[in-house]
Amino acid sequence: MKPSLQLRMSQSLAMTPQLQQAIRLLQLSTLELQQEIQEALDSNPLLEQEDPHESLSNDTESNAAHDGNSHDASSHDSNNGDAPTDSSQIEVGDALASESMPDELPTDSNWDDVYTPQIQNHSSGSAGIDGLDQVYQGETSEGLYEHLMWQMELTPFSDIDRAIAIAIIDGIDDHGYLNQSCEEILNSVDIDHQEVDHNNDAKIELDEVEAVLKRIQHFDPIGVAARSLQECLLIQLQHLPENTPWLTECQQIIHAHMDLLGNRDYRQLGRKTKLKEPQLKEIMQLIQSLEPRPGNVIDQTEGLYVIPDVLVKKKNNQWVVELNPDIVPRLKVNNDYSNLATGNRNSSDGQFVRTHVQEAKWFIKSLESRNDTLLKVTKSIVQRQVDFFDYGDEAMKPMVLNDIAEEVEMHESTISRVTTQKFMHTPRGIFELKFFFSSHVSTDTGGECSSTAIRALIKKLVAAENVSKPLSDSKIADLLADQGIKVARRTIAKYREALSIPPSNQRKSLL
């Protein structure tokens, strides 16, 4: 065959830099988008952020001028043509200024009434009594380790006991339990002690480690450095007053029948202790007042905050979707710099300005496209899940990404990008957009029920069950079948574990 030239016409989608930028912005979360915007503002001198107070101040000034004109007109009419004076307005303004910024304190006020000192973080060894108040008031980010080290510095220890105490505190996990045995602590401290002091042949005894451990177990929180749940509960019971009701019986049960207590076998527990059910209830109330994980008392986690992307409100009996105006700042192109491109400048300067003007316009357009797509997808989700906003989780309808993609005429991958790490603020709480998508289960009437609604029904049934005879997974499946929802027992167990609901044998209680 001879080579030849042929002319063909075809259409194809080209991934231009502008389209790539729009897709990247579409899948960014709120925090990532704010970082991207800040980087664009730093790299592009022609892109700037609008000052929201500027437009607000202009509107306020115009309204104030309008009100002032109307006030002057009314004053002129009431005074029969006499010009009004501004002395009253000046006096009021001076009075407000003097109230907001006093020159000196009143004679009957104290410095503490005006200035509230902030508690400073104390390092170990320099903290006083205020440091303990700081921990209990929750005004510190120190964890359990720092809290124990601070108490260790306040406790009179010898050099060897201090080394043992540090080794013990190093072996305590976040829940407050000691993960190392006394023998392991002894070996590590003994080796370090011999390396530091070569002239001292005295060997550390195991009794010294146990004595230091007993002292640390009485640190705050009580029960810390325990080696088992049994030991942790017994330590806490030792700190209760001796006249506490059922204290002796509670100690005997934890010491001798911990296995029955863990299995919630109250019938066998009553037989062995010869206690009746009302007495066991009193003992169980005392046990449940204890802290099985003392390390959790010291909050070591920082609060996680979610900034919603869209706001859903009900206005005139209609659910309205709005973009959160606080997440994306308003951007614009600097007109003073952009006009330089049309001036008498050399080619390199003009090309630099034109390039950055075009990049700024593309970035602003990509942000607008992202907001429009997010708003369109969210409105479609709200329209399909109106029953959820009116009645709750039990009214959630099954929905997949393809349903929204067909309605808004977009690709399913685009819907996935839009709904990932995007959050919606509703009267029922803050939800990720992915929350509204769920699989379906067929019903006896030929309809469909979403998995979210089934989980809500399981949670409702467990909350209303008899704690002395909790519902098993098979019983829950039967109750759902009575409502026309056919769900296998394995599916019930999977949904129950997703809701962090323990099995029936662990939910049994006398209280």
Based on the structure, what is the number of domains in the chain?
3
Instruction: Render pLDDT for 163-181 as a digit per residue (tens, 0 to 9).
Output: 999 999 999 998 999 999 9
Cβ atoms < 10 Å from Cβ of 271: 11
The tokens for 148 are 């124990």
Report the relative pairing of strands 310-315 and 423-426 from DSSP bridges. Answer: parallel
Query: Where residue 482 sits, what CATH number does that domain have?
Result: 1.10.10.60
Judged by average pLDDT, the poorest of 106-120, 347-361, 489-503 is 106-120
Q: What is the pLDDT of residue 177?
A: 95
358's tokens: 């075009």
Q: Does 366 lie in the same domain as 309?
A: yes
Which amino acid belongs to residue 223? G
> Does residue 283 sit within a domain?
yes
Are 336 and 358 found together in one domain?
Answer: yes
Per the domain annotation, does 14 fall within a domain? no
Q: For residues 114 and 431, which has the higher predicted lDDT (pLDDT)?
A: 431
Burial of 468 (0-12, 13-18, 19+ CB in 10 A): exposed
What pLDDT digit, counting tens, does each position of 306-339 carry? 889 999 999 998 999 999 988 877 888 888 777 7
Q: What is the domain range of residue 475?
A: 439-511
99 pLDDT exceeds 70? Answer: no
* Residue that is last in its domain, among 390, 417, 437: 437
Note the pLDDT tens digit of each residue in 126-151: 333 344 444 344 444 578 999 999 99
Average pLDDT, the chain: 79
Instruction: State the pLDDT confidence band at 193, using cuts at 50, 70 and 90.
Output: low
Do both 289 and 148 map to the same domain? Answer: yes
Q: How many CB atoms lie within 10 A of CB 424?
A: 22
Would the pLDDT of 225 be above 70?
yes
Tokens of 158: 């010898």
**DSSP code per residue over 199-264:** S--PPPPHHHHHHHHHHHTTSSSTTTTBSSHHHHHHHHHHTS-TT-TTHHHHHHHHHH-HHHHHHT
Domain end marker among 297, 332, 352: 297
Do 264 and 353 share a domain, yes or no? no
pLDDT on residue 364: 92
pLDDT tens digits, one per residue of 245-284: 999 999 999 999 998 888 888 888 889 988 888 898 899 9
In a domain, 310, yes or no: yes
3-state secondary structure 34-94: HHHHHHHHHHCCCEEECCHHHHHHHHHHHHHHHHHHHHHHHHHHHCCCCCCCCHHHHHHHH
Q: Is the pLDDT of residue 410 over 50?
A: yes
370-400 per-position pLDDT tens digit: 999 999 999 999 999 999 999 988 889 999 9
pLDDT exceeds 60 at position 117: no
> CB of 396 within 8 A of CB of 388?
yes
Q: Above pLDDT 90, what percent of the chain?
A: 38
Answer whether residue 1 is part of any domain.
no
Q: How many CA atoms lie within 13 A of 124 on its CB side?
A: 14
Report the percentage of the chain scoring pLDDT > 70: 76
pLDDT of residue 138: 41
- Out of 419, 437, 455, pick the residue that ends a domain: 437
pTM: 0.62
Give the model's pLDDT for residue 82.
46
pLDDT for 300: 58
Residue 99 domain flag = no
